Amino acid sequence: MPDDELIGRTIARYTILEKLGEGGMGTVYRARDARLDRLVAFKILRAEKMHDADRRKRFIQEARTASSLNHPNIIAIYDIDSADGVSYIAMEYVAGVTLDQVIARSLRLIDAVKYAIQIADALVAAHAADIIHRDIKPSNVIVSQRGLVKLLDFGLAKLVERRAESILETRTIDVAPMTIEGTIVGTVAYMSPEQAEGLPIDHRSDVFSFGAMLYEMASGRRAFRGATSLSTLSAVLSLDPPPLVDTAEPIPPELERIIARCLRKDRERRIQHMDDVKIALEELLDDLKSSSSVSRSGIAQRTLSSDDVAQQPPASGAAVRNRRIAWRMLAPWSILLVGAVAWIVWALTRTETARLAPVLTRLSADAGLSAYPALSPDGSLLAFASDRGGQGSLDIWVQQTRQGQPLRLTTDAADEYEPTFSSDGTTIAFRSDRDGGGIYTVPALGGTLRLIAKGGHRPRFSPDGKWIAYWSGGMGSAFVSGSTNIWVIGTNGGEPRRIASEFAAARHPVWLRDGRLLFIGRLNADVDWWITSLEGGAPTRTGVMQILRNRGLRPPPGDYTINPTDVTLDGRAMLFSAVLGDSANIWQIELSARGEAAGPPQQLTFGTSVEAQPVAARRASPAVAFSSLAVNVDVWSEPVDAAQGTTTGPPERLTDSLSFEGYADVSRDGRQLSHVAARPGGWDVRLRHLDAGGETTLASGTSPLLQTRMSPDGSHVVYWERDENERAVYVADTTGGATQKLCGDCGPPTDITPGGSLVLLDSAGPPEAILLANVSSKKITPVIVPPSSPESFLYSARFSPDLKWIAFHAAIGSSTTRRIFIVPYRGERAAATSGGITEKDWIPVTDGTMMDRDPYWSPDGNALYFVSERDGFRCIWVQRIDPATRQPLGLPSAVSHFHTARLSLSTVDPRSSAVSLSLTPTRMFFSLGELTGNIWLATEQTRK
């Protein structure tokens, strides 16, 4: 459809106002979102490419990639959909011009550095999320009227680069740099050498492209130029850009060095990380500002009027070079001067009081699990959850922080945990798993329990004592795939009121001293810590999540996100637990008066265990209580009658390591078990000999090795290696044969046939089909294809024992449920000719109202075992199947429950696949997490 026919037309809820230009794979328009009454940039796939499947996939990939990033210098994605035959992306509209337009009309050096820092910061965020942009160039950068820079067009971004298999044709280059669409993608003038050669790329390719763009920003001309695309590529591969001379402003030597190090052909000698580039540019900007300040003060030169400027002759090349020499001579002395001044200021202004390491006091010493601490406002009492009572479940206990025996407040068989004190210290609210779960209160020194709200988690009293905030919804992955909500209810009960209802998911509310609530929220795909008022109004984004990602912090074990837990005594910083390296510790990050992040995160504890759940006293000297936990994930087995779906004994630990051991799979005769084991500095795939004893290591690596699958006859093990550059599947011969690579850039394996000839794979990207891979030919064929709905994802396929059926689970149109299906399997040839089994041949096994996942066939093929959260916990269930029709018989029944925090399937990993359920006729195998720990108190120590 011509552009002029689109103007004024409404697509979905967007009214097209004007064309803005061509952008990547689509045409961009300014449009108005009728629902939210805001301007958006509306990008549609160009009409001539509507029927090109590969271009459509890249178009969708652009939106998915960009929408996963949350950064002030990256264009925000609001919506992605299709309507009236048009695929579109609605994104943030920025009033401004592209960077190439800014460069064309000259760009001050100091502004160029400011813009480059913002672009570098955006790339730091993308690389932290394992995303490579692959098409960094000035036309993919928007500069707003206020000087804010936005990086856009992630249409070429991929987690892994494929190897080139074709040769570029020669094309004449026009004025604008050209993007070649094909196996090698990117814009020729800004490609890295490895990208130009079609080699696998990583984040260092973006470093090179950034250097080429920075050269152009500083000089006004491209670093690599040629008459044709091939001659330009030749320059990228073999030539250095011309020296930065005869520029409008003298180029500081440090900027020359940054550019040169970014543009090194050998990526091993190139600057390795964008955060290093960003830091170098920030230091350069400080020097430029200092130089500018000196200039304006009249010390270096007089102030020129506009007439003076007009009369100045243009600088000759020699004059520019002389200035550059003078800069080199001056720079070292400037650095020494700045350093000396900084030392003097520090020496004159530092206080006599120096901070020391905190004093650590152990508050509990139990053999099992004591966790979830809460401090009374004056710091004199500690409430916590513990299984010290001997019944296997957690109860609420309270004790004095200085001395005394714990007093037990609850005695239910269900876990009770997450206590918190009221503002006057007389009442404790907590979460109980009894009767479906809810929020209860009890007097701080014992008394009658009272139900306040059904279904809530992690209650918190408001500072004025009038309200209790809590959240509801699924645990673990429900935050990223489902819905969790924040509620506020009166301390005496009543009707709860939902807070921050505009968020797709919100949880972990923390009261600030002024009565506002801070929480972690997901607004579409945008995850951050936010602040809201009980009176409503637009929530305030803190920007914390991006800072934590830039620091390299990861969520603690058992969760998808880094969650706020409490506010410090002075009310200025938030406490949280996060992983850096191999340990989880307590951190804090300061917030400004407006509620925005006001500095980098600060590490408060340095232990080697999992330090989590920090809370602060309210009206006492600075003190933080926290849990020091050990999470021990091992492979367990449980005796079962697999044909009847009943257990015949208690679970038994099969492996016993302080590191992760999981993703297990057993051979049909029960003699061998494959599993993954994490070790210091790497990962192993191991073969455990259940009949003879001992283990054999099949594979080792420094990158995570995951998702082992054992062939029924025990002859082969297939596993998944996930490193920085590739997601590869390998097949190992357990009888002593060679290990071979099956595929790169592919999803995890889910099953393997006897003899190791065929492997089922999850898809590595859209469309989310179940794939069948031939180990000999390496041919990969879709065997089950999803419905046309864009929200359809298929996972965890397993062959039936007779290889005539495949069971799998799917998410279709819902982010909060999963459903198990069975389909007939007619062989590899039938899958290749049919294009995959479609939804009309799917047999539903569960009703789709619950989170039912990861099916595994009983040895006789007449039942499906699976992992489900249908009772509020992650447990193992079974569904009987009609032998002839494969229709379900009756309702699912529970096989083995795991309802305590001490032993839990959820502790293994937020993703259910790590449980890796498998069976023989008499035993069931799975990964189980054991959580133990105690509570410590950190108090501040000072000296005069």
Catalytic positions, written as ranges: 135
Question: For residue 759, what are the β-bridge partners?
Answer: 752, 773
Q: Is 42 helix (H, G, I), strand (E, B) or coil?
A: strand
Are 195 and 134 in contact by the 8 Å Cβ rule? The answer is yes
Cα separation, 587 vs 791, whole angstroms: 37
Closest C-alpha to 528, from 562, 501, 574, 477: 562
Question: For residue 623, what are the β-bridge partners?
Answer: 939
Q: What is the DSSP string of 527-563?
A: EEEEEE-TT--PPEE--HHHHHHHTT-BPPTT-SS--
Two structure tokens written together for 150 = 């936005």
Cα separation, 152 vs 150, whole angstroms: 6
Torsion of CA 260, 265, 267, 271, to 10 degrees: 0
Strand ranges in 298-409 using DSSP code E only, listed in sequence order: 354-355, 359-362, 370-375, 381-386, 395-400, 407-408
Amino acid at 743: C
Burial of 685 (0-12, 13-18, 19+ CB in 10 A): buried
Cα separation, 289 vs 280, whole angstroms: 14
CA angle 779, 781, 785 (to 5 degrees): 165
Backbone angles phi, psi at 899, to 5 degrees: -110, 10
Cα separation, 942 vs 622, whole angstroms: 11
Are 723 and 734 in contact by the 8 Å Cβ rule? The answer is no
Amino acid at 482: G
Radius of gyration for the chain, computed over Cα atoms and rounded to the nearest angstrom: 30
- Three-class HEC string of 787-847: CCCCCEEEEEEEECCCCCEEEEEEEECCCCCEEEEEEECCCHHHHHHHCCECHHHCEECCC
- Three-class HEC string of 447-498: CCCEEEEECEEEEEECCCCCEEEEEEECCCCHHHHCCEEEEEEECCCCCCEE
Which whole-number Å values give the CA distances from 919 to 546, 668, 675, in the listed order?
43, 8, 14
Q: How many CA atoms lie within 13 A of 505 on its CB side?
A: 22
The rounded Cα 612 to chain-centroid distance in angstroms is 20
Cα separation, 538 vs 529, whole angstroms: 14
- Would you say how long the chain is, in residues? 944
CB atoms within 10 A of CB 267: 19
Q: Are strands 652-653 and 540-541 parallel, antiparallel or unpaired?
A: unpaired
Are 441 and 428 in contact by the 8 Å Cβ rule? The answer is yes
Cα separation, 82 vs 694, whole angstroms: 56
Q: Is 180 helix (H, G, I), strand (E, B) or coil?
A: coil
List Cβ neighbours of 788 (8 Å cut-off, separation of 6 or more): none
List Cβ neighbours of 382 (8 Å cut-off, separation of 6 or more): 363, 373, 374, 375, 376, 398, 399, 400, 401, 625, 935, 937
CA angle 307, 308, 314 (to 5 degrees): 115
